[in-house]
Amino acid sequence: MSQAPGAQPSPPSVYHERQRLELCAVHALNNVLQQQLFSQEAADEICKRLAPDSRLNPHRSLLGTGNYDVNVIMAALQGQGLAAVWWDRRRALSQLALPRVLGLILNLPSPVSLGLLSLPLRRRHWVALRQVDGVYYNLDSKLQAPEVLGNEDGVRAFLAAALAQGLCEVLLVVTKEVEEKGSWLRTD
């Protein structure tokens, strides 16, 4: 079947979960892996494994609404045979070997609001970035739809802007082999 002249090809199917409760870590994991692999229940199980004797689990919200910490993300990725590598913000982003990276998970400050009222508070928010069919996307669960970042230059520009704002942490999601060899870092 041919397309009409001037018609744009349909965009690739990009998996994107939207924000619910304080489950941004769960959404970031599923978005970076491009499928629903994790749920709130699965994240809570990881929390219990990480702190089995704790009455108040330090890896999630006291209210049970999510707000999972980096340990939960790292354990979830390990369970999938993957690894999370902290990006050292002192390195130039040109040293990042993006083709060796499955995806990125950022931890960013995020404003707090009650309905239309914005409060002068900031909380932490997990955001996934991922390449699908040669195009990088911002898969922030607070977005209505995935945001196109474009090619490697586009994702590097996005990362540079996020890191320049301060208080941004970047996790590289890589295979165990890439982690062990350190091949997420360019040597040329």
Nearest partner of 82 among 130, 44, 154, 121, judged by Cα: 130
Instruction: Tell me, yes or no, if 168 is annotated catalytic.
Output: no
Identify whether the C-beta of residue 97 lies closer than 8 Å to the C-beta of residue 185.
yes
Rounded Cα gap, residues 172 and 103, in angstroms: 6
Q: Which is catalytic among the residues 16, 24, 27, 69?
A: 24
Instruction: Tell me, yes or no, if 125 is annotated catalytic.
Output: yes
Identify whether the C-beta of residue 61 lies closer than 8 Å to the C-beta of residue 47.
no
DSSP for 121-142 reads EEEEEEEEEEEETTEEEE--TT
- Report which residue type is found at 87: W
Tokens found for residue 85: 């590598």
Q: Which is catalytic among the residues 16, 53, 125, 168?
A: 125
Residue 46 is given by DSSP the state H
Rounded Cα gap, residues 52 and 113, in angstroms: 33
Catalogue the E-assigned strands of the chain: 82-86, 103-114, 117-132, 135-138, 147-150, 169-175
Instruction: Tell me, yes or no, if 59 is annotated catalytic.
Output: no
Kindly list the catalytic residues: 24, 125, 140
